[in-house]
C-alpha cells in the first residue's frame, strides 16, 4: 500500500565498500526518520552486501534486494517496483546527505503541496590533486520560497539545467502513475529521466541548501576507457533522438519544446569534444539531419563557448 512511509529512498549499490558506510550513516543520522530504504545490491563482488546486511538491523524499514549486475538504470527500476512512500528520493551509495535533509524537504513539500523540490550539492574529492568539479549551485537562476509552474521553471533553468536525479525530491505518485523509468543500457540516464519527470511536474520549489554531498572518486575522475567513451557517445545520440520525438508531439512549441531544443543543442555540441578518433560512421551520425537536431546559430555559439574556454 502506497504511503506506508513518508519517503522511499532508492539506493543502488555496486562495489562501493569503501564509501557505503558513509552513505548509510548519513541516513541513520537524519533528524527525520519516517522513511524506508530500498537498497539494490546490483551484483557487487566486494563487501558491499555484507555492509548492507550489517546496517539493515539498525533501521526499522530497510529492504535489501540482490540481483545480477544490470547497471544503474535497471537497479533504480528494481527499486521503483517497491516504493511505498509519498515522496521518492534516489541516493547514490558513494555519496551522502546532511542530517537535516529529509526534515527540511518534507516540510517544504508538505506545506506547499509540491510535486518536486530542487536543491543544491556540495562536490568534494577524496584524493589529492587539482580536479575540475561541477558547480551545482542554482541560486543565480532560481529563488527560494517561490512555487514555480512547469513552464516557469523550464524557462529559468533552460541555459543551465542540472540532470542528476539526486538533486530532486519527488512526489512518488508522479513517477509511479506515469510509469516513469530509467532507460536500460543507457549512459547519462538522468538526462532523459529528469526531463521526462519535469514534464509531469506543475508545482516546483527550490531550496538553495547543499544537502547532497557529491563525492568525486579516483576512478570517476580518470579518463574513461575508449569503450565507455563510445557508449557515452552513442547514448547521447539516442537521447537526442528521443528528445526529437518528444518535440514532435509538442504542437504549440511552448516552453517544454524550447527546453528540449536547448538540451539538444548542448548535447549535440558535446559530441564534437570526445577524446577519441571518430570513425566515419559516427561522423555520419553527427552530420545526418543536423538541421532537425539543432538550431544552427545556437549550435555555433555553443561550439565557440567551448573552444574559447
- In tens digits, what is the pLDDT along the chain, a chain of 309 residues? 466 789 999 999 999 999 999 999 999 999 999 999 999 999 999 999 999 999 999 998 999 999 999 999 999 999 999 999 999 999 999 999 999 999 999 999 999 999 999 999 999 987 776 777 889 999 999 999 999 999 999 999 998 999 999 999 999 999 999 999 999 999 999 999 999 999 999 999 999 999 999 998 866 544 455 456 778 888 998 999 999 999 999 888 899 999 999 999 999 888 877 765 555 555 565 556 555 555 555 555 555 555 554
Q: How far is it, in rounded angstroms, from Cα 32 to Cα 26?
A: 11
Residue 268 has a pLDDT of 87
Residue 223 has a pLDDT of 41
Residue 42 has a pLDDT of 98
pTM assigned to the model: 0.90
**Residue 294, C-alpha cell as written in the block:** 539543432
Residue 221 has a pLDDT of 45
Amino acid at each position: 500500500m502506497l504511503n506506508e512511509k513518508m519517503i522511499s529512498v532508492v539506493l543502488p549499490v555496486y562495489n562501493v565498500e569503501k564509501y557505503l558506510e558513509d552513505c548509510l550513516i548519513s541516513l541513520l543520522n537524519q533528524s527525520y526518520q519516517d522513511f524506508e530504504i530500498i537498497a539494490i545490491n546490483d551484483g557487487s563482488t566486494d563487501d558491499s552486501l555484507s555492509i548492507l546486511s550489517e546496517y539493515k538491523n539498525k533501521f526499522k524499514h530497510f529492504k535489501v534486494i540482490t540481483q545480477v549486475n544490470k547497471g544503474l538504470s535497471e537497479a533504480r527500476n528494481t527499486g521503483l517496483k517497491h516504493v511505498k512512500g509519498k515522496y521518492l528520493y534516489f541516493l547514490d551509495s558513494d555519496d551522502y546527505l546532511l542530517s537535516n535533509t529529509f526534515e527540511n524537504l518534507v516540510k517544504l513539500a508538505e506545506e506547499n503541496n509540491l510535486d518536486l523540490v530542487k536543491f543544491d550539492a556540495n562536490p568534494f574529492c577524496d584524493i589529492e590533486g587539482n580536479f575540475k568539479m561541477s558547480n551545482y549551485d542554482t541560486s543565480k537562476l532560481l529563488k527560494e520560497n517561490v512555487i514555480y509552474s512547469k513552464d516557469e521553471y523550464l524557462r529559468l533553468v533552460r541555459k543551465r539545467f542540472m540532470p542528476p536525479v539526486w538533486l530532486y525530491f519527488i512526489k512518488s505518485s508522479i513517477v509511479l502513475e506515469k510509469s516513469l523509468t530509467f532507460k536500460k543500457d543507457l549512459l547519462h540516464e538522468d538526462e532523459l529521466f529528469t526531463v521526462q519527470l519535469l514534464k509531469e511536474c506543475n508545482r516546483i520549489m527550490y531550496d538553495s541548501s547543499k544537502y547532497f554531498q557529491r563525492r568525486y572518486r579516483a576512478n570517476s575522475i580518470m579518463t574513461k576507457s575508449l569503450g565507455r567513451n563510445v557508449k557515452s557517445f552513442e547514448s547521447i545520440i539516442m537521447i537526442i533522438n528521443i528528445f526529437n520525438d518528444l518535440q514532435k508531439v509538442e504542437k504549440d512549441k511552448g516552453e517544454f519544446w524550447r527546453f528540449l531544443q536547448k538540451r539538444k543543442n548542448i548535447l549535440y555540441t558535446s559530441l564534437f569534444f570526445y577524446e577519441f578518433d571518430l570513425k566515419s560512421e559516427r561522423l555520419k551520425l553527427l552530420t545526418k539531419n543536423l538541421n532537425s537536431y539543432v538550431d544552427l546559430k545556437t549550435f555555433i555559439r555553443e561550439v565557440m563557448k567551448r573552444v574559447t574556454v
